[in-house]
Structure 1
Amino acid sequence: MSQDRAETERILLLTEGRTTPLSAKTATGVLRYSLGQVVGLIDSTQAGRTAGELLGVGGDILVFAALGQAPEADTLIVGIAPAGGELSGPLRREIRGAIERGMRVESGMHFFLNDDEEFSRLAKRSGSTLVDLRKNDAHDVARFDAFDPDCLRLHTVGDDCCVGKMVVSVELARGMTRGGCETKFVATGQTGMLIEGDGCAVDAVVSDFIAGATERLVLAAKGHDAVVVEGQGSLANPRYSGVTMGLLHGCLPQGLVMCYEAGRAEVVGLEPMPLPPLEEVIASYLSVANLQHPCRFIGVAINSRLLSGDEYRREKDLVQERLNLPAWDVVRESVDGLVDEALKLRRQLADKGSPC
């Protein structure tokens, strides 16, 4: 997938029944980073409210009850990705309406629009373009070809899904580039692909080929000073840990960033399954990551969206003391401290003449 989105492109985000930060991660990512002009969200259960109110980003962009009530747009992006790719009646109705209008429809669901007989027929008639972000042809096992020794490999990991790994990855890559270290954000999920314009949704890759698909993405970034490979799932979340393991082995990171949401005590979607202590999660990642290549953590990224300013400062002090690692919320503060740690690692590896 490769796409250059025009800044003038008018976008509607479909978030029917799921306009929350956890459920509408794709919509939130597009609002925060994507080129193009988002002119509205569609959710019949939240009509009249704003993106800023519901998602914490997007300001006064309005939510509309249906496509027919929303402003005209060029593109409809399905801003949610229900587990298993289920397509509810309301979702299907709005997608059908967009196709009938000849709009471009982009989806990160496991349900593929192009495989749907009705959608394909309507698209041919209207001239609509259907984009299935998760569809891929990755069928290569990892070969463990030599990576570029001059390109630092960083990887974001977490104690659970939906903790902010993509945001941290984008912010870190952009911050390093601003600091003079040309860095590629390697998108491994549908939202990252919408932002970056390339990548691969590795959770839709056959399990044998996840490491290989990840390896190909890193090799394709040759010529950059560094890459930040977006993390997925968590070793501590048994639903998605297989994807997490494939990413770790595929990119053989030299540096890791630990991401977590302050206040979360249970695995999302598997409540009341408790999350292990961060110390145990970090030890697990180090054990797996160091099986084939030296690797260490460079810092911690705190998702403090549920904390007040005072609560955040206490949390930051506590986690730095507990883990003996520097920590920041890269949205609440800035990514500069994490950038400094990444550049420090790059200098240390260069001084040691570290193998790739």
Structure 2
Amino acid sequence: MQQIPMPYLLFLGDVMDPLAAKTARGIHVWRPESCVGQIRLATDSVSLGLPEMDIATAKAQGAKTMVLGTANSGGKLPKHWIDSIKTAIRAGMNVANGLHQGLNDIPELVELAAEHHVELFDVRHMRPELDTGTGIPRSGKRILTVGTDCSVGKMYTSLALESAMRELDLNADFRATGQTGILVAGAGIAIDAVIADFISGAVELLAPANDDNHWDIIEGQGSLYHPSFAGVSMGLIHGAQAHLLVMCHELG
């Protein structure tokens, strides 16, 4: 699987709604050591409180990838962000994108990235060649977070478990299955973009056989109760072959 180079410069654009910056916020909360700074296009837009930087300064301070850390309705890339992306590419920085619209679907960006020998990471479409699941038992231990609905904290819980287990000197790794998780971890598979027949195989690849004392903490998606997303949840259950399930539920 591709690995997104860290550290990051978090691009916040000009979004005004804090919820729109949830991807950047997730990275900042869980991987603060991997965040060099932030760049905004408007002084009154959402801020994470990171040092304000232009692209040249961030590059000089070691940033390897500029992350488009916001989401919007429809997942389209705003046209007025293109110049900032081009500037980052010309500075020798990779660009990572969690929007539905891919950077690799924009020919001028693809050509510029090739010219400057950098990568464009469309995390919703970052996946290797996949096989169908085998169901063959494999070594290592696995935890899968599951939920009674979507958006009830499965990624947060998975990352909290990784942090707590590592504090106890347990050998544990977070395995990302959503775009924010992939950017936090630097790698993973956006499971909702995988063709249904290959979901369990994707999870087997994401959390393969490992040492008997190693724990993979697999980020769950959707819910078996959800009429739209239960198929993804079931594929995760089959592919994970989890030793433990952690149920997530929104109180109230």
Task: Work out whether the TM-score is over 0.5.
Answer: yes
2:28 is equivalent to residue 38 of structure 1: no
2:132 equivalent in structure 1: 141
If asked which structure has higher relative contact order (CA below 8 Å, sep 6+), I would say 2
1:103 equivalent in structure 2: 93
Gaps of 5+ in 2: none
Note the C-alpha offset of 1:212. 0.9
Matched AA of 2:99: M
**Normalised TM-score (structure 1):** 0.60
2:109 equivalent in structure 1: 119
2:173 equivalent in structure 1: 184
Note the C-alpha offset of 1:236. 3.8
Q: In 1, distance between residues paired with 2:13 and 2:145?
A: 26
Contact 2:3–2:186 under 8 Å retained in 1: yes
Relative to 1, partners in 2 of residues 1:182 and 1:103: Cα closer, same or farther, differing over 3 Å?
closer
Matched AA of 2:38: G
Matched AA of 1:14: L
2:3 is equivalent to residue 3 of structure 1: yes
Note the C-alpha offset of 1:258. 2.0
Note the C-alpha offset of 1:245. 2.1
1:88 is matched with which residue: 78, 82, 88? 78
Matched AA of 2:67: I
1:27 is matched with which residue: 7, 21, 24? 24
Matched AA of 1:29: G
SS, match of residue 24 in structure 1: helix
1:133-175 deviation digits (Å, cap 9, x = unpaired): 2321343111101122xx3321112233333211210111231
SS, match of residue 208 in structure 2: helix
2:206 is equivalent to residue 217 of structure 1: yes
Matched AA of 2:106: D
1:324 equivalent in structure 2: none
Relative to 1, partners in 2 of residues 1:144 and 1:109: Cα closer, same or farther, differing over 3 Å?
same
Q: In 2, distance between residues paired with 1:154 and 1:4?
A: 24
1:113-142 deviation digits (Å, cap 9, x = unpaired): 223211112223344431222321343111
Contact 2:4–2:121 under 8 Å retained in 1: no
Contact 1:184–1:224 under 8 Å retained in 2: no
Relative to 1, partners in 2 of residues 1:120 and 1:213: Cα closer, same or farther, differing over 3 Å?
same
**1:1-356 mapped onto 2 (5 Å cutoff):** 1-3=1-3, 5=5, 9=7, 11-17=9-15, 19-21=17-19, 23-34=20-31, 35-42=33-40, 44=42, 46-47=44-45, 50-51=47-48, 60-61=49-50, 72-73=58-59, 74=63, 75-82=65-72, 85-134=75-124, 135-148=126-139, 151-263=140-252
When the two structures are aligned, how many residues end up with a matched partner? 246
SS, match of residue 249 in structure 2: strand
Contact 1:142–1:250 under 8 Å retained in 2: yes
Q: In 1, distance between residues paired with 2:185 and 2:249?
A: 23
Note the C-alpha offset of 1:205. 1.3
Matched AA of 2:104: N
Contact 1:154–1:256 under 8 Å retained in 2: yes
Gaps of 5+ in 1: 52-59, 264-356
Relative to 1, partners in 2 of residues 1:43 and 1:258: Cα closer, same or farther, differing over 3 Å?
farther
Matched AA of 1:38: V
Q: In 1, distance between residues paired with 2:156 and 2:249?
A: 12
Note the C-alpha offset of 1:10. 5.3
Q: In 1, distance between residues paired with 2:108 and 2:211?
A: 41
Note the C-alpha offset of 1:5. 4.7
Relative to 1, partners in 2 of residues 1:254 and 1:124: Cα closer, same or farther, differing over 3 Å?
closer
SS, match of residue 104 in structure 2: helix
Relative to 1, partners in 2 of residues 1:252 and 1:141: Cα closer, same or farther, differing over 3 Å?
same
**Normalised TM-score (structure 2):** 0.81
Identical-residue share of aligned pairs (%): 37
Matched AA of 1:244: S
Query: Please, what is the CA RMSD of the aligned residues?
Result: 2.9
